[in-house]
């Protein structure tokens, strides 16, 4: 129960998104598009949490990516039927003390779970099924929008999507950043990652707890060490070793970095309480880290 509560609790941001709704994939995929003021060949595609592409918090994040020069696209992966942000109020609401009020409170939660939560899980419980949507969006960006470099930003549910795309043998994306990812299976979702990655981690996160986070980092570290061992003799060997060593110094390993945010819980980067100074600062920094990361690799 606690793990699932963290997946849906949070707050709705204030602000008005400035992007536009469009369609990709011959009109079959709804997307939110935030366009930079100047033409660009670099794009960020966001893999959302369970509140989907229409969630104002996510759209405001997309706008911030556009403000620093990236074309940002947020696909609708839930057929325009994501979980409603209203469910966040139930997740954090304290139980009343009166007998009948308590019964009514939990009846509301049960009703919401039955009418919203269970159908959502039934229809969208497997992030891997959303990969064809991202394949279509990525293809269209490269073929019709003059995009040559693509970064994937994954939040919560979308974190799994990010690792899958980052592991593609076709090198569908050029870099992946994620905050408090969910549904990861280790080692299989980590071992084949072949692009630079950034991991922004909550202190309390039942979907990506400290033990799992350390295991993920260890997998990437061992992969880095294996890469160092197989660098071949001959021309360019010293340069290759220097690059690997420098990457290890800068990011804890070859092109990956984990950042821990004390005092935060799952969801802080997208729907954290903006009135909490610690949470607000962490969310701001996580976005700044993603921006700097993508500027480096795209």
Is the pLDDT confidence value at 232 over 80?
Answer: no
Of all residues in the chain, what percent are helix, strand and coil, respectively (each to 5)? 45, 15, 35
Burial track 174-202 (b if 16+ CB lie within 10 A, e otherwise): bbbbbbbbbbbeeeebbeebebbbbbbbb
Is the pLDDT confidence value at 245 over 50?
Answer: no
CA distances, 211 to each of 87, 128, 208, 252, 290 (Å): 29, 24, 8, 17, 23
pLDDT of residue 88: 65
Closest listed residue to residue 80, CA positions, set 52, 118, 120: 52
pTM here? 0.83
For residue 285, give both structure tokens.
């920094």
pLDDT of residue 169: 87
CA distance 74 to 76: 7
pLDDT of residue 244: 46
Mean pLDDT score of the chain? 83
- Average pLDDT on 86-109 reads 52
Is the pLDDT confidence value at 26 over 50?
Answer: yes
Which comes out higher in pLDDT, residue 52 or 115? 52
Residues 154-189: tens digit of each pLDDT? 999 999 999 999 999 888 999 999 999 999 999 999
CB within 8 Å of 67: residues ≥ 6 apart: 36
Which ranges of 77-209 does DSSP label H, i.e. alpha helix?
Answer: 87-92, 99-112, 118-124, 131-144, 157-166
**Cβ proximity of 46 and 70 under 8 Å:** no
Is the pLDDT confidence value at 106 over 50?
Answer: no
**Cβ proximity of 172 and 133 under 8 Å:** no
DSSP-derived secondary structure for 185-248? -TTTTTTT--S-EEEEEEEE-SSS-HHHHHHHHHHHHHHHHHHHHTPPSSTTHHHHHHHHHHHH
CA distance 196 to 132: 22
**pLDDT tier, 295 (very low <50, low <70, confident <90, very high otherwise):** very high
Residue 155, SS3 per DSSP: strand
DSSP code of residue 68: T
CA distance 206 to 116: 22
CA distance 231 to 240: 7
Is the pLDDT confidence value at 257 over 70?
Answer: yes
Is the pLDDT confidence value at 53 over 60?
Answer: yes
pLDDT of residue 126: 83
pLDDT of residue 85: 76
**Cβ proximity of 83 and 117 under 8 Å:** yes
pLDDT of residue 213: 95
């Amino acid at each position: 129960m606690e793990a699932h509560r963290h997946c849906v609790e949070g707050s709705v941001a204030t602000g008005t998104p400035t992007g536009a709704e469009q369609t990709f994939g011959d009109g079959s995929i709804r997307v939110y598009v935030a366009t930079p003021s100047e033409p660009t060949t670099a794009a960020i595609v966001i893999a959302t949490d369970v509140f989907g592409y229409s969630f104002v918090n996510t759209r405001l994040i997309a706008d911030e990516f556009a403000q620093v020069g990236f074309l940002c696209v947020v696909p609708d992966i839930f057929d325009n039927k994501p979980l409603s942000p209203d469910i966040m109020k139930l997740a954090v609401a304290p139980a009343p003390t009166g007998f009948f009020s308590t019964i009514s409170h939990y009846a509301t939660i049960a009703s919401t779970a039955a009418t919203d939560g269970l159908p959502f899980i039934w229809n969208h419980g497997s992030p891997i099924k959303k990969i064809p949507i991202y394949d279509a969006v990525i293809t269209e960006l490269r073929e019709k929008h003059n995009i040559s470099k693509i970064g994937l930003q994954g939040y919560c549910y979308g974190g799994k999507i990010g690792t899958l795309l980052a592991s593609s043998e076709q090198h569908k994306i050029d870099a992946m950043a994620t905050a408090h990812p969910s549904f990861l299976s280790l080692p299989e979702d980590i071992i084949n990652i072949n692009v630079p990655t950034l991991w922004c981690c909550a202190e309390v996160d039942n979907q990506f707890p400290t033990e799992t986070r350390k295991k993920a980092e260890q997998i990437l570290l061992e992969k880095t060490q294996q890469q160092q061992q197989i660098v071949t003799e001959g021309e360019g060997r010293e340069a290759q070793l220097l690059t690997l060593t420098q990457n290890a110094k800068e990011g804890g390993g070859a092109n990956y970095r984990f950042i821990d945010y004390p005092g935060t819980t799952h969801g802080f980067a997208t729907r954290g309480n903006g009135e909490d100074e610690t949470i607000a600062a962490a969310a701001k920094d996580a976005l700044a880290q993603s921006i700097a990361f993508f500027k480096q690799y795209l």
